[in-house]
Structure 1
Amino acid sequence: MTATHSFSTLVPDVILDAVESTGLWSDSRIYPLNSYENRVYQIGIEDSSPVIAKFYRPERWNEAQIQEEHQTLLKLKAAGVPVVAPLEFNGASLFEHKDMYFCLYPRLVGQHPEADNLDQLYQLGELIGKLHQALSTTMFKERLNVSPLAQMDVAANQILTGNTLLKAPLPKALQLPEKLKPLYIKQIARLRELSEARIQAYWPTQLRPIHGDSHRSNLMLHEGQFHLLDFDDCQNGVAVQDLWLHITQTENPRQQLSEIIEGYESYQPFETRELDLVDVFKSVRVISYAAWLQSRWHDPAFVKAFSWFGSEEYWINHLNELKSCELEWGQISR
């Protein structure tokens, strides 16, 4: 893979050539789907159903990591877990075209879960329990191991210094304003202190393979059954990471939590002490999201979709969100 590659070269002819290199014949219809980290398109196929083409962001995952993702999905599908696995052509699921890795998926039509539907939350718990049960025998060898404090430190340091992994310097307009840095340092220190205390009080003796980013947009209700999509962030982590994102009520989350866990325990026992880690993962997600937007500033898709990013108002709102993480600390585990 070349270091200079970017999505700017991913023009329609390149997309179609890549798809047709697998042996399919397109009808030249390309429909971009909502994806920022990678590029995803629905491609029309002659005399057949459309396929979904996913082009991986260069230099994010290496070939072995993507292959492990694909092999996991294919094994899950074979085991009857409702996931969307990549299509295989002559025994291969990962391909390279113009220095970019890509794969094809079958198109799945359906709806995302309703945030406050308790019946659906129970079903989501069942699905994730079934997933964790199927994954329980083999740890990922190529994917990342979750490390909340390290992730928090890296993201916060980037925001404070403006130093990303990009070769070009980060524009001043996208950096945290100097006058807000003392407040940010204080708030991060407080969340890190709380997080470290929680992790010291309980951390599982062994991590487990998980989806890693099972928010509502990565679930699809298709023909009466929920399917898990997009294992791009699969990793060795903690079971509750795949559950807490579905808790949307802030005043009384217990009812939602009860439904999710009840469904989960249809397949897997749930260690309730993991609930003490929800605040940790929530704080890390809030910090990391801001750092992620900052590190992708050079991507035109981000400039267009997140034009509000980087203003003083944005950073003030970000600080308020971090403060909310502190004020709501312990609400789930109480």
Structure 2
Amino acid sequence: DEALAAAVAAFDEAAPLATVRLHGDCHPGNVLWRDGAPHVVDLDDAMQGPAVQDLWMLVSGDATTMAQQLNILLEGYEQFVDFDDRQRRLIEPLRTLRMVRHSAWLAARWEDPTFPLNFPFFGSAAYWSQQTTQLREQIELMTAS
């Protein structure tokens, strides 16, 4: 509850924000490169939302590295459209929501025989302990900024 409340508070603080059509699951695994050009695949999660929702999953590393990567990404992005810097505050709330949504996605499909085979860790004490620790870390990140 606390993690979701912190995420909602972050969105409320950043409002109002313009929304755009999004890929919805834009990470490096869904960007294939062929003949020197990117091809975006797996569009089943397309939605409307803040632009940062499609950008934050393209960066990785520690906070400094991610900020540098995001700045480079935004240089290219802003050649086409302006980016509202208030959206940067939504990265950790979006990460938190993705974590919760992923666990819910696994739980909803657990009766599918392929899921226990492909996600054997799900439901274990270690999995939930890790999720709890990560959510506590996310709460700290969201409330610190």
Fold equivalence (TM over 0.5): yes
2:29 corresponds in structure 1 to 217
1:193 Cα shift?
A: 2.8
Residue identity matched to 2:104: A
1:266 aligned residue: 79
Partner-residue secondary structure (3-state), 1:220:
strand
Which residue of structure 2 aligns with residue 294 of structure 1?
107
The CA deviation string for residues 178-215 of structure 1, in whole angstroms up to 9 with x for no partner, is: xxxxxxxxxx32x2332232122122454221111111
Task: List, as ranges, runs of 4+ consecutive aligned residues in structure 1 with deviation greater than 6 Å.
Answer: none
1:228 alignment partner, one of 24, 40, 62: 40
Does the aligned pair in 1 maintain the 2:4–2:97 contact within 8 Å? no
Structure 1: state its 5+ residue gaps.
1-187
Find the residue that maps to 2:99 and give its secondary structure.
helix
The residue type equivalent to 2:70 in the other structure is: L
Give how far 1:330 is off: 6.7
SS of 1:254's equivalent? helix
TM-score by length of 1: 0.41
Please provide the CA RMSD for this pair.
1.7
- Structure having greater relative contact order (Cα 8 Å, sep ≥ 6): 2
Distance 2:142 2:4 in 1: 12
Give the aligned length: 144
CA distance in 1, matches of 2:15, 2:23: 19
SS in 2 for 1:328: helix
State the alpha-carbon separation in 1 of the partners of residues 68 and 41 from structure 2: 26
**CA displacement 1:10-63 (0-9 Å, x = unmatched):** xxxxxxxxxxxxxxxxxxxxxxxxxxxxxxxxxxxxxxxxxxxxxxxxxxxxxx
Q: Give the 3 Å change call, closer, same or farther, for CA 219–330 of structure 1 in structure 2.
A: farther
**Distance change >3 Å, CA 206–CA 270, structure 1 → 2:** closer
Structure 2 portions without partners, runs of 5+: none
Provide the C-alpha distance between the structure 2 equivalents of 1:206 and 1:324, rounded to a whole number of angstroms. 28
Instruction: Give the structure with the higher percent helix.
Output: 2
Larger radius of gyration: 1
For residues 229 and 320 of structure 1, the distance between their equivalents in structure 2, rounded to whole angstroms, comes to 32
**Structure 1 residue matching 2:87: 3-state secondary structure:** helix
Q: Within 1, Cα distance between the matches of 2:11 and 2:57?
A: 19
Asked if structure 2 preserves the Cα contact closer than 8 Å seen for 1:279 and 1:330, the reply is no
